[in-house]
Chains A and B, each alone.
Chain A
Amino acid sequence: MSDSKAGERKLLFLVDGAKGHTGSFLVRELLTTYQDCRIIATDLPDTSREEVMTKEKVFRTDIGSSHEFLKDPRVEFIPSDLTKPETLNSILENRIFDVIFHPASLYDYFAELKLLRKINVEGTENLLKLIVKTQDLDRLRFIHWSTCGVYGEPKYKKDTKGYPIPANENSPYNPSNDYSISKMEQELVVKEYYEEHGVKITIIRPAPIYGPEDTYGGLHIMQTLTKTGFSILAHIYPKKKRLALPLIHVKDLVRAAIFLAERDEAIGEVYNVIADVFEQDEVLEYIYRLLGVKYYNIPIWWPLYKLFTKILFAIAAWKQNQAKKQGIRPKFDLPMVGYLKQNFRFSNEKLKALGFKFLYPGYERGIKEVFDWYIEHRWVERETVKWDS
């Protein structure tokens, strides 16, 4: 898809969840990629958004993106709510979109399954129903955001030395938390609209997303390490049992979405969007060094490590139950702690085979940039006391 493809008319994009982390980067990337385009950006009205997105305020209540990009003349912001089809109708009717990017979801490990289903599954179905009624399905591309979480912890095939081979897009569904269950159900709805209505869908399954402005995940790790100032770095033995840390930089994610929207081969396909595979201990050590956190390297035998993480998981589960009873969010949502005990190793070969080039295939540069951004914007605290001499 190029600027000239539309010929007489400007390309028209719809980006939902435009005030979210991914959505906001997507709008900016589209504005950079297509000088001559129009973008309808949508998200919940601010008051509703604040009610739902409590995850963004776990550590700080004074942070958030400025959304300056919404003031670009090529962008029109129209508030909507996936759970209220009438608000979507006003966006879709009388406009023929070239691409609808659908990153909008409730991505919150603490949210109840009922709410996740209402927003992620029913909301997506509401959107697709209206798309079928109002859009030119020959023209339209629909890029749907899922998650690598739909695989859960896959059963890996092993290489000749017994090391796990990263799971590809054909791995079966095995979601391990409520959020991932809702995303799996959401995918099934999207696939149904591809098979039964011919909506030209492409499903992307991103790994956990990191990048500047991220209020969930990356900020949790950096904030936690900064606050505790201490950590133990476990190096698991035998090496073939080491855990991977799946990551994708937000800029690569939105670039991949646009890249796939431009390729007809991607219609009806599913793609893992994930940087190259890194080991958890490597990445954590890099972050510890960036943050100046004191840590001890401890080699540990896999069964002992498993036992240790089971205990940690049990403590986290107890803290979560306590928090639920008190009506507050815990500092860590349980599935986040689950990353310490599960091996998430996914392949990006299918996306690469299509010709996609990652800007951040490794982790060092991306994480350093994020760290610098957090420090510059004071999202991660540093010592501010000044002593004489």
Chain B
Amino acid sequence: MGFIDSVLLLFILGWISSYLYKRYLRKRNKDWLFFLGAIILICFWLIDILLYIGVIDMIWLNTIPWVNIPLNVPSGQYYLWNSFLIIGIDFHLLPTAEMFSIAILILLSYPLWLKAGMKVGRILHGYYTHEEGIIWLLKSRKTPNKT
């Protein structure tokens, strides 16, 4: 995954985790949200670090007609910096040594994006088992009684 889509996905997964936690998981174990967050973060960090240090090679993406990763740069890093390659958007950002510190900062920001998604999920769907979140305000009552 590229940096931008990682960040977006982390936010969305945080949101979904929060929803699942409130809906199904909290009643089983109240630490589920932490477990879920930790699993997601470890997966993202692992994949992106392996991509960055070249353990995972992405040159095979060149088999897709609209993807064209230059052969003279580390393919994993090129893939990380050009997030939307798969859908045909190529920023042609060539990774350099100076960009390493920025990559570290982006990787370190992952928990924040996940946490932000979880916060939004909490606001919209609630946290404790009796809560329904802000969404509840927009749901109509079902009882057909009227004065």
A contacts, CB < 8 Å to B: 52, 54-55, 57-58, 61, 106, 108, 110-112, 115, 224, 226-230, 294, 319, 322-324, 326-331, 381-385, 387
Q: Is the CB of A226 within 8 A of B140?
A: no
Q: A228-B126, A230-B134, A383-B129 are in contact. Are A323 and B141 (CB under 8 A)?
A: yes
- Asked if B29 is at the interface of the complex by the 8 Å CB criterion, the answer is yes
Q: Is the CB of A385 within 8 A of B144?
A: no
Q: A111-B147, A227-B136, A230-B134 are in contact. Are A328 and B128 (CB under 8 A)?
A: no
- Asked if B145 is at the interface of the complex by the 8 Å CB criterion, the answer is yes
A-side contacts of B141, CB under 8 Å: 58, 323, 328-331
- The residue on B at minimum CB distance from A293 is B131
Q: Is the CB of B130 within 8 A of A328?
A: no
- Asked if B143 is at the interface of the complex by the 8 Å CB criterion, the answer is yes
- Asked if B92 is at the interface of the complex by the 8 Å CB criterion, the answer is no
* Cβ of B120 to closest chain A Cβ, rounded Å: 11
Give 20 new A-B contacts, CB below 8 A, not counting A52-B147, A108-B147, A230-B122: A61-B143, A110-B146, A110-B147, A226-B131, A227-B126, A228-B131, A229-B122, A229-B127, A229-B131, A229-B132, A229-B133, A230-B126, A319-B138, A322-B140, A323-B140, A323-B141, A327-B144, A331-B137, A382-B130, A383-B128
Q: Is the CB of A384 within 8 A of B129?
A: yes
Q: How many residues of B contact A (CB 8 A)?
A: 26
Q: Is the CB of A228 within 8 A of B136?
A: yes
Q: Is the CB of B143 within 8 A of A228?
A: no
Q: Is the CB of A54 within 8 A of B145?
A: yes
Q: Is the CB of A387 within 8 A of B132?
A: no
C-alpha gap A326/B140 in the complex (Å): 10
Q: Select which of B29, B130, B137, B138 is within 8 A of A226 by beta carbon.
A: B130
29 of the cross-chain contacts (CB-CB < 8 Å) are A54-B146, A58-B141, A61-B143, A110-B146, A112-B147, A224-B137, A226-B130, A227-B126, A227-B130, A227-B131, A227-B132, A227-B136, A228-B132, A228-B133, A229-B126, A229-B127, A229-B128, A319-B138, A319-B140, A327-B144, A328-B140, A328-B143, A328-B145, A331-B137, A331-B141, A381-B130, A383-B129, A384-B129, A387-B29
Cβ proximity bits B96-133 to A, threshold 8 Å, 1 near / 0 not: 00000000000000000000000000110011111111
- Asked if B26 is at the interface of the complex by the 8 Å CB criterion, the answer is yes
Say whether chain B's binding surface is mostly helix, strand, loop, or mixed: loop
* Cβ of B139 to closest chain A Cβ, rounded Å: 8
- The residue on A at minimum CB distance from B138 is A319
C-alpha gap A186/B141 in the complex (Å): 32
C-alpha gap A110/B134 in the complex (Å): 23
A-side contacts of B126, CB under 8 Å: 227-230
Sorted nearest first, the 10 A-B pairs with minimum C-beta distance are: A229-B131, A381-B130, A54-B145, A111-B147, A383-B128, A229-B126, A227-B132, A230-B123, A227-B136, A385-B27
* Cβ of A335 to closest chain B Cβ, rounded Å: 14
* Cβ of A214 to closest chain B Cβ, rounded Å: 18
Q: Is the CB of A57 within 8 A of B143?
A: yes
C-alpha gap A361/B43 in the complex (Å): 58
B-side contacts of A319, CB under 8 Å: 138, 140
A-side contacts of B140, CB under 8 Å: 319, 322-323, 326, 328, 330
A-side contacts of B146, CB under 8 Å: 54, 110, 324, 327-329
Interface residues of B in 68-99 (CB under 8 A from A): none
C-alpha gap A230/B122 in the complex (Å): 8
B contacts, CB < 8 Å to A: 26-27, 29-30, 122-123, 126-134, 136-138, 140-147
- The residue on B at minimum CB distance from A58 is B141
A-side contacts of B27, CB under 8 Å: 385
- The residue on B at minimum CB distance from A61 is B143
Q: Select which of B26, B129, B134, B142 is within 8 A of A228 by beta carbon.
A: B134
C-alpha gap A57/B147 in the complex (Å): 11
A-side contacts of B137, CB under 8 Å: 224, 228, 331
- The residue on A at minimum CB distance from B128 is A383
- The residue on B at minimum CB distance from A332 is B137
Residue from A229, A324, A328 whose CB has the most chain B CB atoms within 10 Å: A229
Q: A55-B147, A329-B145 are in contact. Are A383 and B134 (CB under 8 A)?
A: no
A-side contacts of B143, CB under 8 Å: 57, 61, 328-329
B-side contacts of A384, CB under 8 Å: 129-130
A-side contacts of B138, CB under 8 Å: 319
- The residue on A at minimum CB distance from B27 is A385
* Cβ of A247 to closest chain B Cβ, rounded Å: 23
C-alpha gap A384/B131 in the complex (Å): 12
A-side contacts of B127, CB under 8 Å: 229, 294
Residue from B30, B136, B146 whose CB has the most chain A CB atoms within 10 Å: B146
Q: A108-B147, A329-B141, A330-B140 are in contact. Are A383 and B130 (CB under 8 A)?
A: yes
